[in-house]
Chains A and B, each alone.
Chain A
Amino acid sequence: MSKTEGQEVVLIAVLVVLWLALGFGTDTFFAASNLQNILATVAPVTIIGIGMTAVIVTGGIDVSVGSALAVVLVVVAKMVRDSGLTLVPAVIAGLVTGGVLGALNGALVAYGRVHAIIITFGTLNIFRFVALQIFDGKEVAGVPGTLEFLGGGTEGRSFGIPHSWLLAVLLAAGMWFYMRHAPTGRHLYAIGGNAPAAWLAGIRVNRRLVGVYAVTGILVGLAACCVIGGGGLVAQSAGTGLELQVIAAVVIGGTSILGGRGSVLGTVLGALLVGTVTSAVTLLGWHSELTALFIGVFILLAVGADLGRVSRPPSAIAGPDAVPDATAETPKDNQYSRHSGGDARNRPDPDSHRTGTPRHGQMRERRRRRE
């Protein structure tokens, strides 16, 4: 854990330096409206990033979140507009819709035993299709302000802080506690570290996997409610490219894309950094297109800092011409051969995962008693 906390300290330092520089460099950065705007914009990415962190910690990835967001957006927006749903039922509808989509991803990843990036590339297209079908050729305009409580407007703030951001921080704290202290949360790290070993140790790998993808879906549903609350019409292209923003926030936060390492707090800071950079480019009057360039540079810096910090284990693979850097990650040599992905021949017989020999039953029993 100390390694990821290192990243968080660095991120906080970078954020403080950036904020100070912007505070002195511009008149408006510390204006309440600007800060509120940043927080409200960053909240949906942060909320989805909480789930994405858990997914990436298990060694997976979910690139379908943008399309899933579009589905929830159009479903909830149409329900609110056409059936006059009130706040709570609307949010529940969003959570359920997102949860169903996420569980579908999870089931395919866990039981299909195909690497998550392929499955979610597929569902990215399928979800976008579903969304476009429900859009039925028109954007959704004239959505009533039922969800404004979650948006960043005057209705959606308490003590000047957007509710969506408070929610994001609360959820992040909860997820941080869960992943760090709850047994099933620790299992996520175990799965990302070594899925077959985790399974042999009695962790129900498939159940955890379906769980993290479903939770990500539910969080996508919540983020969609915040987006609708922000007002404006719901366009058919909504959510395009969102997955890359979320992954960028997670990676800048120090979570290893190879799985087994990372924390939600880093993700929150990463999302804040992305939001700050976006706002800074606008305030300084630079080309808004430069934002992406800075995000790219920050991703590389974050990964570079991470690679520099990871101690290099002595490795049998290091041959005569090995470049020092190339051996840095040899134990995690092939990110795609982990848990459900990869090569069946290198792993225990997949079918025995489900039947569970008596020995494993005993191990599970013993573990349960310990807990």
Chain B
Amino acid sequence: MKRLVTDRVLLLVALLVVLVVWMSVLGSNGYLVAPYDVDYLLSSLESVVPLCLLGVAELLVIVSGRGGIDLSVGAMVSLVGMAFGFMVGVWHWPVWAAIVGALLAGAVLGAVNGFLVAWLGVPALIATLATYYAFSSLALVSNDNAPISTQPVQDLHSLTSTVGQVPSQVFTFLLPCAALAWLLANRTNYGRRLYAVGTNEAAARFAGLHVVGIRFRAYVLSGMLSAVVAVITVAQFASARPDAGTVGNGMALPAITIAILGGTAITGGIGRIGGVVVASLFVVWLNAGILLAFEDSRGSQYQLLALGVVLVFSALLNRLTLRTDHSLK
């Protein structure tokens, strides 16, 4: 029982089970407008993919410490998406080359953030706020505020076909990226060093780690993950939209929310990939359930409420668990 409160991943899994069981019971008793069944859950995985990948990106930069955060992920999705659209739709590159190009573009944009934050020491919140403005503006200007949806771009839609009921990008993009991120964080020297830098920068420096370079790479990785999301988003909409990642509240806020809900400590050094994956599943399936509970569009409003309440409560719970640890010592 104790572990359930202190271990964020276990807690989220328990919540997830409660949610699915509760929703299914509601559904089978006719309280929902459509059945909340396996098919529905699988097809809603479509929205897990971008959320989870950007959540992992936020996790990496937040773990890197010193107030790490990346407000520019949504803007990078827009800008890389436009670049990808140009490569495929206007310059007629083969798709694999365009994907490599998109990843490179994402790495370059991430490197701009990393240079500002790690090398120059600009606070991450400010640096990425500035690049958020800059990247989203460049994305809009790149094609005169118009989307690119020529035939080659529309053909990309086949990338997001479904396998059974599951959207194929879960297998082609999400699982490989999540597995790589998990390996990187838990099984490589770099992962260990990243957590070391986030936990105690001074100690890491005295241990001979190149703090600046390690933090820099976290932002580059965040840019590359945004590039992956950009490719998926372009394929999903069969069109490269200049405001894909920044429309409305943008993609950055939900991604940060997911990372924090997944147990990432905003102070750096703490956070697990598994937590982010389960958190994004939880939020998406919760949203999917809420959508079914209302006949009109009010469901989408209650999604906002649920996200906000879940975030505040999970943060307060974080405090509680930290304080419990403290009193035990």
Digit string of A115-134 for contact with B (CB within 8 Å is 1, else 0)? 10111011111111100110
In the complex, whether B304 has a CB less than 8 A from a CB of chain A is yes
Query: Could you tell me if B141 and A290 are in contact, using CB atoms closer than 8 angstroms?
Result: yes
In the complex, whether B2 has a CB less than 8 A from a CB of chain A is no
Quick one: which of A293, A295, A307 contacts B120, CB cutoff 8 A?
Answer: A307
Digit string of B122-138 for contact with A (CB within 8 Å is 1, else 0)? 11011101111110111
Q: B309: which A residues are within 8 A, CB to CB? A: 122, 126
Nearest-neighbour CB distance to chain A for B201, whole angstroms, equals: 6
Known: A247-B129, A321-B205, A334-B67. A125 touches B305 (CB 8 A): yes
A268-292 residues with Cβ-Cβ distance < 8 A to B are 287, 289-292
Digit string of B252-263 for contact with A (CB within 8 Å is 1, else 0)? 010011001000
In the complex, whether A335 has a CB less than 8 A from a CB of chain B is yes
Give the docked Cα–Cα distance between A123 and B136 (Å). Answer: 25
The count of A-to-B residue pairs whose CB atoms sit within 8 angstroms is 192
Quick one: which of B130, B298, B326 contacts A296, CB cutoff 8 A?
Answer: B130
Q: A20: which B residues are within 8 A, CB to CB? A: none
Digit string of B53-94 for contact with A (CB within 8 Å is 1, else 0)? 000000000000111010000000000000000000000000
Query: Could you tell me if B301 and A129 are in contact, using CB atoms closer than 8 angstroms?
Result: yes
Give the docked Cα–Cα distance between A113 and B320 (Å). Answer: 10
In the complex, whether A27 has a CB less than 8 A from a CB of chain B is no
Q: Which of B121, B130, B322 has the most CB of A within 10 A?
A: B130
Q: B316: which A residues are within 8 A, CB to CB? A: 112, 114
Query: Could you tell me if A333 and B305 are in contact, using CB atoms closer than 8 angstroms?
Result: no
In the complex, whether A354 has a CB less than 8 A from a CB of chain B is no
Give the docked Cα–Cα distance between A343 and B198 (Å). Answer: 13
Nearest-neighbour CB distance to chain A for B194, whole angstroms, equals: 15
A337-371 residues with Cβ-Cβ distance < 8 A to B are 337, 341-345, 349-350
In the complex, whether A314 has a CB less than 8 A from a CB of chain B is no
Closest 4 CB pairs of A and B: A125-B308, A296-B133, A296-B134, A126-B308
Interface residues, chain B, with chain A CB atoms under 8 Å away = 65-67, 69, 116, 118-123, 125-127, 129-134, 136-138, 140-141, 144-145, 201-202, 205-206, 208, 210-212, 248-249, 253, 256-257, 260, 265-268, 296-298, 301-302, 304-305, 307-309, 311-312, 315-316, 318-319, 322-323, 325-326
Q: A336: which B residues are within 8 A, CB to CB? A: 67, 266-268
In the complex, whether A303 has a CB less than 8 A from a CB of chain B is yes
Quick one: which of A123, A295, A300, A326 contacts B127, CB cutoff 8 A?
Answer: A300
In the complex, whether A299 has a CB less than 8 A from a CB of chain B is yes
In the complex, whether A323 has a CB less than 8 A from a CB of chain B is yes
Query: Could you tell me if A114 and B133 are in contact, using CB atoms closer than 8 angstroms?
Result: no
Q: Which of A251, A289, A304 has the most CB of B within 10 A?
A: A289
Give the docked Cα–Cα distance between A246 and B253 (Å). Answer: 17
Across the interface, name the chain A residue whose C-beta is closest to B297. Answer: A137
Query: Could you tell me if A326 and B326 are in contact, using CB atoms closer than 8 angstroms?
Result: no
Q: A297: which B residues are within 8 A, CB to CB? A: 130, 134
In the complex, whether A322 has a CB less than 8 A from a CB of chain B is yes
Quick one: which of A123, A132, A328, A344 contacts B326, CB cutoff 8 A?
Answer: A344
Q: B208: which A residues are within 8 A, CB to CB? A: 320-321
Known: A296-B134, A307-B122, A325-B119. A287 touches B141 (CB 8 A): yes
Query: Could you tell me if A124 and B267 are in contact, using CB atoms closer than 8 angstroms?
Result: no
Give the docked Cα–Cα distance between A113 and B326 (Å). Answer: 15
Q: B305: which A residues are within 8 A, CB to CB? A: 125-126, 129
In the complex, whether A110 has a CB less than 8 A from a CB of chain B is no
Known: A289-B141, A304-B120. A299 touches B129 (CB 8 A): yes
Give the docked Cα–Cα distance between A292 and B325 (Å). Answer: 45
Across the interface, name the chain A residue whose C-beta is closest to B296. Answer: A137
Give the docked Cα–Cα distance between A33 and B267 (Å). Answer: 48
Query: Could you tell me if B304 and A126 are in contact, using CB atoms closer than 8 angstroms?
Result: yes
Query: Could you tell me if B122 and A304 are in contact, using CB atoms closer than 8 angstroms?
Result: yes
Known: A114-B315, A129-B308, A336-B266. A299 touches B133 (CB 8 A): yes
A80-126 residues with Cβ-Cβ distance < 8 A to B are 108, 112-115, 117-119, 121-126
Digit string of A222-259 for contact with B (CB within 8 Å is 1, else 0)? 00000000000000010010001001100100000110
Give the docked Cα–Cα distance between A53 and B232 (Å). Answer: 39
28 contacts between A and B (CB under 8 A): A108-B312, A114-B315, A114-B316, A114-B318, A114-B319, A119-B312, A121-B256, A121-B311, A122-B311, A124-B249, A125-B307, A126-B308, A129-B308, A244-B129, A258-B123, A287-B140, A290-B137, A296-B131, A299-B133, A304-B122, A316-B202, A321-B208, A326-B211, A326-B212, A342-B266, A344-B323, A344-B326, A350-B323
Query: Could you tell me if A124 and B137 are in contact, using CB atoms closer than 8 angstroms?
Result: no
Query: Could you tell me if B133 and A293 are in contact, using CB atoms closer than 8 angstroms?
Result: yes
Besides A112-B315, A121-B260, A325-B121, 8 more A-B contacts (Cβ < 8 Å) are A126-B304, A244-B133, A289-B145, A303-B126, A317-B201, A336-B266, A344-B326, A345-B325
In the complex, whether A313 has a CB less than 8 A from a CB of chain B is no
In the complex, whether A329 has a CB less than 8 A from a CB of chain B is yes
Give the docked Cα–Cα distance between A295 and B135 (Å). Answer: 11
Known: A118-B315, A325-B121, A344-B326. A123 touches B308 (CB 8 A): yes
Query: Could you tell me if A292 and B137 are in contact, using CB atoms closer than 8 angstroms?
Result: yes
Nearest-neighbour CB distance to chain A for B258, whole angstroms, equals: 11
Q: A345: which B residues are within 8 A, CB to CB? A: 322, 325-326
Query: Could you tell me if B134 and A61 are in contact, using CB atoms closer than 8 angstroms?
Result: no
Q: A237: which B residues are within 8 A, CB to CB? A: 248
Nearest-neighbour CB distance to chain A for B144, whole angstroms, equals: 8
Across the interface, name the chain B residue whose C-beta is closest to A137. Answer: B297
Q: A341: which B residues are within 8 A, CB to CB? A: 266-267
Query: Could you tell me if A257 and B121 are in contact, using CB atoms closer than 8 angstroms?
Result: no
